[in-house]
Structure 1
Amino acid sequence: MKACAQRLGLQVSTARVIVAALALALSATDAFAQIDAAHSTITATSKQMNVPVEGKFTRFSAQLAFDAAKPAAGSAQVNVDMTSYDLGDDTYNEEVRGKDWFDAKTYPNATFVSSAIAPAGTDMFNVTGKLTIKGKSQTVVVPVTVATQGAAHTFDGSLTIKRSQFDVGLGEWKDTSVVADDVVIRFHLVGAGK
């Protein structure tokens, strides 16, 4: 009877160790699954009559899975609220959310979903994925620099896109001599450790 109780106690202890190990493994895998939005930024800069005009997106979310030792196993999904683009002026904000530009009522979100991550140098990676804006999708390669600050990972990069490929700027705004076709998207994403 005593031996049976000891065996049962050992099984319970073993089960607890396994559960604890699984919990630790899951938390490590998930450690940077969400971003710290308060310390993260996404901006888009265009040129109007050759003068840079930068706006920032104030609402976005991302799920990032990343291990520098196994980058190919990682993934990134970013969702940007197009109604949150802020140029610092309410009139301009309303115009850019309108049909000729973002058409944010019809297409409230832009998304990026990765399909591959490859090393590109020390702490640098090329992230290939599908960028969708206004219902138009393009495959893009985003260069990303990863750094560790304390317990958090940071992901920094920029990508130049052609607004015309996404139908951003219609009617009179299709003219790229007034508003340039190139738009630079910059991001600083801070992984929120659990």
Structure 2
Amino acid sequence: MTRVKTFFLSAAASLTLSLALAPALEAAPEAFVFDKAHTHIGLTWNHVGFSETRARFGDFAGELVLDEENPEASTLNVTIPINSLDTGIEKLDGHLLSADFFDAATYPEATFTSTKIDRTGDSTAKVYGDLTIHGVTKPVVLDVTLNKLDTHPMSGKKAAGFNAKTTINRSEFGIGQYVPMVSDAVEIFISTETSVAK
């Protein structure tokens, strides 16, 4: 076999291998980071039957590992400083952060770690995980909608946007002050943008 023929055969084999590996490389799970400027973590609860009180957490840290080919293999973890709670009313914030409710001095963080993901549609899923608040860990389920997965027009990076919601009973986390006059059920709503970490 001539050297020229050997060279072309080797080149063809390398090209074939590269083409075979390309889909696998493209399908590899990717780490996404959260855009804090375009993330809202909100809470809503009923106040003595007269109104809905709303609050948000203004700070958090976390990472989403997204597997596009196998979304069920994706993972999510988030940590929220309790002191970032904001109702827009300083006195109410202070009461909610006190030992009557979150007791932020003793339990400064809330965390969520996913344990399982089930797809429920082309752009929806249930994300199961462990939520820890006030030193108590309970399983919760987030109903998640993928809003968009595409190249972000501003950053040029691959980006993914989601909405998620769930409802918890705060008494199950040891925060039962004024139940049932102030509702036990607390609705949690999240809207976020993420982009590839690299």
TM more than 0.5:
yes
Shift of 1:78: 1.0
Shift of 1:185: 0.5
What is aligned with 2:9? none
The 4+ residue runs of structure 1 with deviation greater than 4 A are none
Shift of 1:80: 1.0
What is aligned with 1:41? 40
Would you say the 8 A contact 2:66–2:75 is kept in 1?
yes
Matches within 5 A, 1:111-122: 111-122=111-122
Cα RMSD after superposing both structures:
2.4
Q: Classify 1:149/1:74 alpha carbon distance in 2 versus 1 (closer, same or farther; 3 Å).
A: closer
SS of the aligned residue for 2:99 comes to coil
What is the one-letter code of the residue matched to 2:148?
T
C-alpha separation in 2, matches of 1:137 and 1:149? 31
C-alpha separation in 2, matches of 1:68 and 1:121? 14
What is the one-letter code of the residue matched to 1:36?
D
C-alpha separation in 2, matches of 1:150 and 1:39? 16
What is the one-letter code of the residue matched to 1:38?
A
What is the one-letter code of the residue matched to 1:133?
I
Q: Does 1:158 align with 2:162?
A: no
SS of the aligned residue for 1:153 comes to strand
What is aligned with 1:191? 194
C-alpha separation in 1, matches of 2:122 and 2:150? 19
C-alpha separation in 2, matches of 1:44 and 1:141? 16
Deviations 1:93-146 (A, max 9, x none): 111000111001111111110011111112001111101100111111211001
Would you say the 8 A contact 2:31–2:64 is kept in 1?
no
C-alpha separation in 2, matches of 1:162 and 1:67? 31
Unaligned runs of 5+ in 1: 4-13
Identical counterparts, % of pairs: 32
What is aligned with 1:94? 94
What is the one-letter code of the residue matched to 1:121?
G
Matches within 5 A, 1:95-174: 95-148=95-148, 150-151=150-151, 152-170=159-177, 173=178
Would you say the 8 A contact 2:46–2:53 is kept in 1?
yes
What is the one-letter code of the residue matched to 2:35?
D
Shift of 1:147: 2.3
Shift of 1:35: 0.5
User: What TM-score do the two structures reach when normalised by structure 1?
Assistant: 0.80
Higher helix residue share: 1
How many residues are treated as equivalent by the alignment? Answer: 172
User: What TM-score do the two structures reach when normalised by structure 2?
Assistant: 0.79
SS of the aligned residue for 2:190 comes to strand
What is aligned with 2:8? none
